[in-house]
Amino acid sequence: MSTPPIIRTGKTAVDPTDVVLELDEVVQTFHGKGGLKVHAVNGVSLKIARGETLGLVGESGSGKTTVGRAALRLYTPTSGRITFEGADVSRVKGRKLRRILRRRSSMVFQNPSTSLNGYMRLGEILREPLDVHRVGTPAERKRKVEEILDVIGLDAAYAQRYPHELSGGQRQRVGIARALMLDPSLIVADEPTASLDVSVQAQIVNLLEDIQAERGLAYLFITHDLALVRRISHRIAVMYLGRIVELGAAEDVFARPQHPYTASLASMELTPEHQIIPEGELPSPANPPPGCSFHQRCPIARPQCARERPELTEVADVVSGQPRSFACHFPGELTLALADERVVTVPPPLPVVPALAAR
Amino acid sequence: MNNDHNQPPAEAGKAHMPSVVTEGDPWGSVPTVAGIEPQNAGEAIPRKAPGRLREILRKAWGNPSGRVGFVLLGLLVLAAVFAPLIAPHDPVVQTLAATNEAPVWLGGESGYLLGADSLGRDVLSRVLHGLRLSLLVGIVAATVSALLGLTLGILAGWYEDTLGKVLMRLADIQFAVPFVAVGIALTAALGPGLGPVLVILSVWGWTTYARTIANSVAQVKRADFVTAARTLGAGTGRIMVKHVAPSVLAPVVVLWSTSAGVLILAESGLSLLGLGVQAPGFSLGSMLSDGQVALRLSWWAVLFPGTALLLIVLAFNMIGDALRDAFNPSSSLAPKNPELV
């Protein structure tokens, strides 16, 4: 197919005070082998308003998936608060959790082949949320399944089919349909397009946007597709090693990155000679570096960065005036080379601090 | 993918096969292959689908090996049920004149179709009657131990770090304990007879099932579709029954079908030790052990019960194979039923 997929734009209007989900200093620690503690998420705070899409980006291992799963209480947070529609759900269990969070939130997965049970017909898969929460009579459930199949553009007869009889894109649409069965106010979408080919990605994204416009639900959209996240998100949060390093309106964050890590991400859309590629590997979250977690790989790091961890500070964007925050001692120093003559000014490399080298 | 237009003429006969891949787009933003109306399942799929069990049985019946297995098992069950009607002689009456009498087609003079054993009893009648107990033991003990093993295996896999560890160590211990010793102890406590044997055979088999499926259960527990069910509020019990059990049923069915034969033989081993069914009661297994004493004089008293046993095991295995395939929804009846593809 030579014609590029047409992707519509048009984000829904959002009232930022109408908060659906709020994470407050959420820490999620896992216990690895040999008593190793892994801080997969290390003090993440964010808010998502009704009808808003918050894009969560970061490289593999940055903890973005864990944030999504923690938000849906698939884990019990090690510390911090999770508030959903005004109710504190950080520690609730059982029936209460089911009544508040489970009833009004759902998840869309990366791989539609593994997220649908191959032993169930699509009708059973879609009806399950209604069965679990005892919504409606059997006849009403059946009708609801047919309605939702219509929303995602499948014939009602597909209810009798098994997932393996569908294409990848169709399966992903069923995954989205299942997420919609309970009319949720929040959907966590964990790389919902990553395993689909490009033309199908566009369908899925458009479907998600249409649904949002119609139903005003909030998305926590986890992805590493920067072009996509920029287009569909109202705001973007950039994660690095379990922390949010930059958060702001989608149009501001990548146009004027303040954190060098965001700058390096944004530079990936430029020609190779203008890309800023951080050196080395993502450090292990079991043993995070002192100070700023990015300093070992940062092209503008200075001794201060190895000593003090920069706090996430909120400012107003210089151009748009919208609030944005970043965690960097030297914000905005690493800029994008948008034209050939604008070359990144890289300060001298970090001098070796004897105290650190000795460790 | 939709190359209906340039199919060679030889393919024309298959024109009714629906084009499977129709990655179309009902909301009109993505160009699709011209002229194809996608997303419509059409009339090929009935609105009302058959129940899961009926579908599985139909699929298993559609499999040649399954059909042979079902027919064979059906015949054996019929023979067992109607044994008193079709058996030519009383299976326990001893005719001393006919001791070790050869089958009639090998020159036997007393007219026993399959000969007589060393006590002068009709082998054919004994095989027919022996089937009753053996089939009962095989089906009941195999099914009970499969259900027990499935349940414990799912629990062990789901709670892999707690209950699973305990259950797996228990299984290790059970492996170390001789089966026969437990049989003797149980018989000492409950007295000899069919009951204790059935109990021990039913209870002993869980370890194989549990060990086989526990790992798969632990994997399924982490599958996305289980996470999806959790985010939608499904409880652990529901997830185990609806999501985990179907995913591990295939190996359980295979084990069930192979264990039926093993259990029938185990029953004969126990009765040899005086633990199971006692004379004048008998099963195919006890006929084997009785007959081997006089193997050189009347081999037919061993061969025919052995053959019956073989047929039972064969029938179970064929059914097991067919069921295993039928449990998997993606193994369809494709060659015969193209519209279901």
Residue B301 within any structural domain of the chain: yes
Q: How confident is the model at residue B337 (pLDDT cuts 50, 70, 90)?
A: very low
Residue the block writes with tokens 């997303």: B39
CA atoms within 13 Å, Cβ hemisphere of A102: 24
pLDDT digits (tens, 9 = 90+) for A42-87: 899 999 999 999 999 988 888 999 999 999 999 999 999 999 999 9
In a domain, B188, yes or no: yes
Residues of chain A with CATH 3.40.50.300: 19-237
Looking up tokens 């985990």 gives B244
Mean pLDDT of the B280-308 span: 86
Domain that holds residue B286: 53-330
Q: Which residues of B touch A169 (CB under 8 A)?
A: 23
Cβ contact, residue pair B45, A102, below 8 Å: no
Residue B337 lies in a domain: no
A127-181: pLDDT as tens digits: 999 999 999 899 999 999 999 999 898 999 999 899 999 998 999 999 999 999 9
A contacts of B39 (beta carbons < 8 Å): 153-155, 170
Kindly report the number of other CB atoms within 10 A of residue B212's CB atom.
Answer: 17
- pLDDT over threshold 80, residue A7: no
Q: Give the closest residue to A115 by CA, choosing from B102, B224, B337.
A: B224
Please report, in angstroms and rounded to a whole number, the separation of the first and last CA atoms in chain A: 56
ipTM of predicted complex: 0.84
CB of B29 within 8 Å of any CB in chain A?
A: yes
Q: Which residue has better confidence, A318 or B36?
A: A318
> Can you say whether residue A327 is alpha, beta or left, with left for phi > 0 and alpha for psi between -120 and 50 degrees?
beta
A119 vs B228, B232, B329: nearest CB:
B329
> Which residues 261-320 of A have a C-beta within 8 angstroms of B?
none
Q: What residues of A are in contact with residue B330 (Cβ under 8 Å)?
A: 118, 162, 164
B329 in A contact zone (CB under 8 Å): yes
Q: Residue holding tokens 């001298």?
A: A348
Q: With CA atoms as reference, report the closest residue to A344 among A303, A305, A300, A306.
A: A300
Q: Residue B69 above 90 pLDDT?
A: yes
Over 90: is that where the pLDDT of B245 sits?
Answer: yes
**The CATH number of the domain covering residues in A19-237:** 3.40.50.300
Domains of chain B: total: 1
Concatenating the DSSP letter of every residue in A150-187 gives HHTT--GGGGGS-GGGS-HHHHHHHHHHHHHTT--SEE
Mean pLDDT of B193-214: 88
**What are residue A21's DSSP bridge partners?**
A48, A84
DSSP 8-state assignment for residue B201: H
Check whether A342 has a pLDDT greater than 60.
Answer: no
Instruction: Give chain A positions within 8 Å (CB) of B228.
Output: 106-107, 109, 115, 175, 178
Nearest to A202 among B30, B40, B235 (CB): B30
pLDDT, average across residues A308-331: 89
B30/A contact by beta carbon, under 8 A: yes
Number of residues written out for chain A:
359
For an interface test with A, give the residue of B17, B21, B25, B30 to mutate (most A CBs within 10 A).
B30
Domain at B231, CATH number = 1.10.3720.10
pLDDT at residue A236 is higher than 90: yes
Q: In this structure, is residue B42 part of a structural domain?
A: no
B-facing residues of A in 5-34 (CB < 8 A) are 5-8
Task: Read off the DSSP letter of residue B42.
Answer: G
Flag whether B15 is in a domain.
no
Lowest mean pLDDT among A31-40, A131-140, B206-215: A31-40
Q: How confident is the model at residue B174 (pLDDT cuts 50, 70, 90)?
A: very high
Contact A6 B29 (CB under 8 A): yes
Judge: A7–B29 Cβ closer than 8 Å, yes or no: yes
| B99-128 tens-digit pLDDT | 888 888 887 777 788 888 888 889 999 999
Q: Is the pLDDT of residue B25 over 50?
A: no
Sheet with A186-190, side-by-side order of all strands: A105-108, A186-190, A218-222, A53-57, A235-240, A243-249, A323-326, A313-316
At residue B130, what is the residue type? G
More confident residue, A236 or B281: A236
Mean pLDDT across A248-262 = 89
Tell which B residues from 74 to 133 touch A, by Cβ distance under 8 Å: none
Q: How many whole angstroms separate alpha carbon A102 and alpha carbon A95?
A: 10
CB B281 within 8 A of CB B133: yes
| pLDDT tens track for A104-137 | 999 999 999 899 999 899 999 999 999 999 998 9
d(CA B256, CA A206): 49
Q: Is residue B1 part of a domain?
A: no
- Confidence at B31, pLDDT banded by 50, 70, 90: very low
Decide if B115 is inside a domain. Answer: yes
Mean pLDDT is lowest, of B44-58, B150-164, B269-283, for: B44-58
Residue B159: pLDDT above 90? Answer: yes
- Residue B1: its pLDDT value, please? 40
Q: Does any CB of chain A come closer than 8 Å to the CB of residue B232? A: yes
What's the mean pLDDT when you consider all of chain B?
Answer: 80
Q: CB distance A102–B22 less than 8 Å?
A: no
Cβ–Cβ of A207/B27 closer than 8 Å?
yes
How close does chain A come to B103, measured CA to CA in Å? 52
Residues A206, B29: C-beta atoms closer than 8 Å = yes
**Are residues B45 and A157, on separate chains, in Cβ contact within 8 Å?**
yes
| A-contacting residues in B 164-223 (Cβ below 8 Å) | 223
B213 part of a folded domain: yes
